[in-house]
Chain A
Amino acid sequence: MARSLYLINPRPSAPSYFGAEIFEHSGRAPAHAIADLATVTVAALAPPDWRVTICEEHVEEVDLDTEAEFIGLTGKINQGPRMIALADEFRRRGKTVLIGGPYASLSPEAVRPHCDILVRGELEGIAAELFADLESSAWKDEYVAEKPDLGSTVVPRYDLYPNHRAMSGCVQTSRGCPFECEFCDVIQYLGRKQRHKSVECIVAELDALYDIGYRAVFLADDNLTVYRKRAKAILAGIRDWNAARTDGPVAFHTQVSIDAARDPEIMRLCAEAGLVRVFIGIETPNEESLKETKKRQNVGVDLVEQVGVFLAHGISVTGGMIVGFDHDGPSIFQTQFDFAMATPIPIFTLGALVAPAATPLFDRMKSEGRLVTNGEEVIGVWDTNIDLSLLTREQLQAGLKWLGNRLYSPRNFARRTVAMIERMGPQIGPFRPGHQASRTRPVEIEALGLIRKLIKSGPEEKAMWREISDAMAEKPETGPMVMMSLFSYAQVRCLYESCHYWEPRISEQQSIPLLASLDSGSGRRRLPIVGGRAANSPEA
């Protein structure tokens, strides 16, 4: 009898900047911003005679009555609580539960009691052994994988995924990042030596996504451009592939570091490939904080000028923004606001500094006795699990609320978006003027409906749209980037409203009263913190 596996990507505990909870929040059918890659990859690694089904819980209910013999759960830290709840329920129902993925790999002790089989690390290298053991009912309690070579990989089973409810497809061209930002858990999981897929494998995956109908694809790399030679080969391959599409080009988005702006060839290749949006961990204009957190690639460079290089190549930028470093005092909120408004960056993923388990920051906080929780998830993007150096928790919360509301007042968002449009250079890739338009997918039509609803939600939002629309009319080729920013803005508003952060009147305040009263030289007050992890990158 064929063996069967039910793979689940659980719902996160709370909305994030890069989610699409706005769909459900607005009474529509749920949708996912970026299609999950873990479940479809595991499905592709299963033997061909296995019956594999996938549940994307972001958009559909988990079938607790599934007849599948094995249950596979994956997820990141913000999916941890739901992952554990589902695992417990399936085990209660007599199923054999496997848990793997980033959270299981970084916090194995948290999931170990809730599963029959714990899989740590990347599955490719041990998939054959694992599935053989499952077939012979002689599995081990735990499998620990090495970091596999990605030179030849399988095409994920996108055909099993609810693609009609995902706005963007997903392809991973590499894993790992050579940088060592103190707060980043990715390098603890995927390593600092970056490994790359072959261009042939990447193109095969893109073909599959294109045939399904995706016209937006997230390149799920931790840092696409960091190894220049390899990145150039991959980008050239994507460029050639995109240029040969006969039913409209694909818009790519990904994550890079600011140093890519120093390489004119790589910037040109990014533009030619159809890259329209990048996430860059800007984090802070406070150089002392950048040094403290070992974000060396951002030190000593004019961040605004470097962002401008991306825009000059027709690529929009989303910025990571973190508050709560040891060098961040009460003035950091105004400093961050002034910096943000000097940039042409519409969307900043504003969050508190968090020390995820297994990171150097976690170890340092623990050794300094400043860890308030023990690595468990923290709910919300503005909370932290560490005792800050120069800010109390009350100051942090008050400052973030002021900064978030001020950054995202319709007027200020419009100002940064118009700045982006005005500074955007000509498209030299597949989105140059006169390119073949792609038919809008139904889920994108719904996204347009969400943006329309936002625009009509008040006079300030209407004025915001008029300002942006007028600027876009002058440069129609900026349309895809503006659309992405507007959708992200709608999602930010959903996030802030559902977390009770949204208080527009605060944005009118020129100063933060709570900070003034607490910053009177009486010193910090250390208060108990209920944890939360800053979901401030697409991969968080």
Chain B
Amino acid sequence: LIAAAGSPTVDAGREHHEGEESSDLLPRRGEIDRREKLMSMKDKVLDVISKVSGAARETIEEQMDLVADLGIDSPKALKLLVELEDALGLEIPDEAAAGMETVADVLAWVEKAA
């Protein structure tokens, strides 16, 4: 599907792609792009968490607590937030940062903000 996809065109608010058969069963190009972007961002998040915490990337699980399981104290939290903002090109508000207790919380915020 990806290989077959050409430049997206917009028709009455709905995206079509040359060579693409319109079907509600198949994800649309925009949705695919969004998912790919999200996957890339999640990859970046996990890379940054691994780099800041020192935990091997493959050992990081979504339910992990940033403080209790990954040892991310205030200094590391600063580094984490700065590196995340740089990697994602997003600004993380204080309120959002305060709500990030687990890896899943970080990923959920990124998904929402992306």
Instruction: Flag if A479 contacts B73 (CB, 8 Å).
Output: yes
Chain A interface residue bracket vs B: 20 to 34
Interface check A438, CB cutoff 8 A: yes
Among A28, A438, A442, A483, the residue within 8 A (CB) of B78 is: A483
Docked Cα-Cα span, A410 to B65, in Å, equals: 34
Whole-angstrom distance between the Cβ of A271 and the nearest chain B Cβ: 18
Q: Does the CB pair B75–A472 fall under 8 Å?
A: yes
The 6 sampled A-B contact pairs (Cβ below 8 Å) are: A438-B73, A448-B74, A448-B78, A452-B85, A455-B82, A483-B75
A346 to chain B, nearest CB (A): 14
List 9 additional contacts besides A28-B94, A445-B77, A448-B77; criterion CB under 8 Å. A248-B73, A437-B67, A437-B72, A438-B74, A445-B97, A449-B97, A476-B76, A480-B73, A480-B74
Contact: B94 with A446, CB < 8 Å? Answer: yes
B67, B74, B75: the one contacting A476 at CB < 8 Å is B75
Determine which of B71, B78, B93, B97 lies in contact with A437 in the assembled complex, contact meaning CB atoms within 8 Å: B71
B73 close to A437 (CB less than 8 A): yes
- Within A159-186, the residues touching B (CB, 8 Å) are none
B79 at the interface (CB under 8 A from A): yes
Q: Decide: B94 and A480 in contact? CB cutoff 8 A.
A: no
Closest Cβ–Cβ distance, residue B105 to chain A (whole Å): 13
B98 and A483 contact, CB distance less than 8 A: no
Q: CA separation between A483 and B77, bound complex, in Å?
A: 10
Docked Cα-Cα span, A479 to B52, in Å, equals 12
Which residues between 46 and 92 of chain B lie within 8 Å of chain A, taking CB atoms? 54, 67-68, 71-79, 81-82, 85
A440 on interface, CB distance cutoff 8 Å: yes
Q: What is the bound-complex CA distance between A445 and B75, given in angstroms? A: 11
Does A500 make an interface contact (CB < 8 A)?
Answer: no
Determine the chain A residues whose CB is within 8 A of the CB of B73 once the complex forms. Answer: 248, 437-438, 440, 479-480
- Using Cβ atoms and an 8 Å threshold, which residues of chain B touch A248? 73
Q: Is A483 within 8 A of B74, CB to CB?
A: yes
Contact between chains at A479 and B75 (CB < 8 Å): yes
Query: Nearest chain-A residue to B83 (Cβ)?
Result: A469
Using Cβ atoms and an 8 Å threshold, which residues of chain B touch A451?
78
A505 at interface by CB-CB < 8 Å? no
- A92 proximity list for chain B (CB < 8 A): none
Contacts of B74 in A (CB 8 A): 438, 440, 444, 448, 479-480, 483
With A and B bound together, what is the CA distance between A452 and B75 in angstroms? 12
CB A453 to nearest CB in B, in angstroms, measures 10
Measured CA separation A175–B54 after assembly (Å): 44
Is A439 an interface residue, CB under 8 A from the partner? Answer: yes
Residues of A within 8 A of B93 (CB): 449
Sorted nearest first, the 4 A-B pairs with minimum C-beta distance are A479-B75, A437-B73, A449-B94, A445-B98
Confirm or deny: A482 has a beta carbon within 8 angstroms of a beta carbon on chain B.
yes
Q: How far is the CA of A268 from the CA of B52 in the complex (A)?
A: 30
Known: A445-B97, A449-B97. A479 touches B76 (CB 8 A): yes
Min distance, Cβ A490 to any Cβ of chain B, angstroms: 12
Partner of B81 from A442, A448, A486 at Cβ < 8 Å:
A448
A465 within 8 A of B: yes
> A109 vs B74: C-alpha distance in the bound complex, in angstroms?
46
Chain A positions 80-95 with a Cβ under 8 Å from a chain B Cβ: none
Q: What residues of chain B lie closer than 8 Å to A482, measured between beta carbons?
A: 75
Contact residues in B for A486 (Cβ distance below 8 Å): 78
B-chain residues with CB within 8 Å of residue A438 when the two chains form the complex: 67, 73-74
A452 engages B98 (CB within 8 Å): no
List chain A residues, Cβ under 8 A from B78: 448, 451-452, 483, 486
Q: Which residue from chain B places its CB closest to the CB of A437 in the assembled complex?
A: B73
Most chain-A CB neighbours within 10 Å: which of B76, B94, B97? B94
Q: Which of A438, A440, A482, A483 has the most CB of B within 10 A?
A: A440
Chain A residues with CB under 8 A of B72? 437
A473–chain B nearest beta-carbon distance, Å: 8
What 1/0 mask marks residues of chain B from 22 to 64 whose CB sits below 8 Å from any chain A CB? 0000000000000000000000000000000010000000000
Would A465 and B67 be within 8 Å (CB), given that A437-B72, A444-B74 are in contact? no
**Nearest A residue (CB) for B54:** A476
Residues of B within 8 A of A446 (CB): 94
Chain A hits for B98, CB < 8 A: 442, 445
Q: How far is the CA of A440 from the CA of B71 in the complex (A)?
A: 11
